[in-house]
Amino acid sequence: MGKIIDGKAVSKEIYADIKTRVSSYKNKYGRVPGLATLLVGDNPASRSYVRSKIKRSEEAGFTSYHRDMDNSSTREQITGQIKEWNNDNSIDGILVQLPLPEHLRKDTASIMDTIDPAKDVDGFHPENAGLLARGTPRFIPCTPRGIIELLKHEKISTEGKHAVIIGRSQIVGLPLSLLLLMKSEYGNATVTVCHSRTRDISSLTQQADIVITALGKPRFLTAEMIKQGAVVIDVGINRVDDPAAKKGYRIVGDVDTEAVLEKASAVTPVPGGVGPMTIAMLLLNTLNSFEIKQK
Ligand code: GUN
């Protein structure tokens, strides 16, 4: 029986450390980190993520700024708000929650590119993506950074291991592949990235020491797909109907957790695994942005 990696507990330790640092900075610099969040449209999952991000940042002692824009907002209205925040010295981090509404999907990159790279705590700006690709990261995207921090905390070494990532998104799969490849203590892995066109994913995951699922398909990864003793990191957040649940749905990951636990050495649960780490890393990136400015 494998270990369940408790991301929620690890994130609590990180929050406690951030809170202490923020209160010492308040005395030292007379200011606390500021995080601005922008939500466009009415995607219920996005609304709930943004609410958690605001709540956690306020609990940590940050100043929080938020703007809710309706579904029909234009590209210019959104970039106008971003530029205002770019010029506001009390704001250290800017986050535009993705995905944007359907009519703005094609403009996603150009909208995100208007965020000042020095405030791009998501790490999606080409300058930050480039710094990561070059091996000298400034802001590391929150979910991949959270995964590396979890591996560190659990002392799961990646050096020389075969890591198989399922998913090639700009938010998770692609930046995570770069981090695992980096010449660093929790890098130096051999990395395979699978996606929707990959043939015979099973034959690849069966060779993996570490499997990371970030594809958004409930219970995609089964016990047959992994080797004995593998580490499984589940990034999926999927809503599945459940009439017995109060809200009528339940959140599950991309992994058939119960079955996989019989064979794996460690598995991150959903909820309570990678998710809480993502928000903790957003706060850490914002704190780092604040610290860079004080130098
Ligand atoms: N949507 C899902 N994950 C993320 C994230 O890490 N950042 C932003 N901005 N949007 C997201």
Tell me, yes or no, whether 198 lies in a domain.
Answer: yes
Residues of the chain with pLDDT under 70: none
User: What atom of ligand 1 comes closest to residue 95's alpha carbon?
Assistant: 9
Together in a domain, 155 and 215: yes
Please name which of 32, 88, 115 lies closest in space to residue 291, comparing C-alpha atoms: 32
CA 110 – CA 107 distance, rounded (Å): 5
pLDDT of residue 191: 99
Together in a domain, 88 and 169: no
**Total domain count for the chain?**
2
206 is catalytic: no
Tell me, yes or no, whether 43 lies in a domain.
Answer: yes
Together in a domain, 156 and 224: yes
Together in a domain, 75 and 184: no
pLDDT of residue 135: 96
207 is catalytic: no
Together in a domain, 94 and 184: no
Catalytic residue among 81, 92, 119, 122: 122
pLDDT of residue 41: 98
Tell me, yes or no, whether 261 lies in a domain.
Answer: yes
Asked if 49 and 276 touch (Cβ cutoff 8 Å), the reply is no
* Host domain of residue 63: 31-117
Tokens standing for residue 31: 């200011």
Together in a domain, 49 and 87: yes
Together in a domain, 147 and 271: yes
Q: What is the CATH number of the domain that holds 70?
A: 3.40.50.10860
User: What atom of ligand 1 comes closest to residue 141's alpha carbon?
Assistant: 6
pLDDT tens digits, one per residue of 41-78: 999 999 999 999 999 999 999 999 999 999 999 999 99
Together in a domain, 148 and 71: no
Tell me, yes or no, whether 63 lies in a domain.
Answer: yes
Is any ligand 1 atom within 6 A of the Cβ of residue 213? no
Is any ligand 1 atom within 6 A of the Cβ of residue 120? no
User: What atom of ligand 1 comes closest to residue 143's alpha carbon?
Assistant: 6
Tell me, yes or no, whether 44 lies in a domain.
Answer: yes
Tell me, yes or no, whether 80 lies in a domain.
Answer: yes
Pairing of strands 231-234, 266-267: parallel
Together in a domain, 265 and 187: yes
Is any ligand 1 atom within 6 A of the Cβ of residue 96? yes
Tell me, yes or no, whether 269 lies in a domain.
Answer: yes
Together in a domain, 165 and 250: yes
Is any ligand 1 atom within 6 A of the Cβ of residue 38? no
Q: What is the CATH number of the domain that holds 252?
A: 3.40.50.720
Together in a domain, 88 and 154: no
pLDDT of residue 295: 82
Please name which of 227, 136, 220, 147 lies closest in space to residue 180, comparing C-alpha atoms: 147
pLDDT of residue 77: 98
Tell me, yes or no, whether 4 lies in a domain.
Answer: no
Together in a domain, 223 and 258: yes
Is the pTM of the predicted complex or chain greater than 0.85? yes
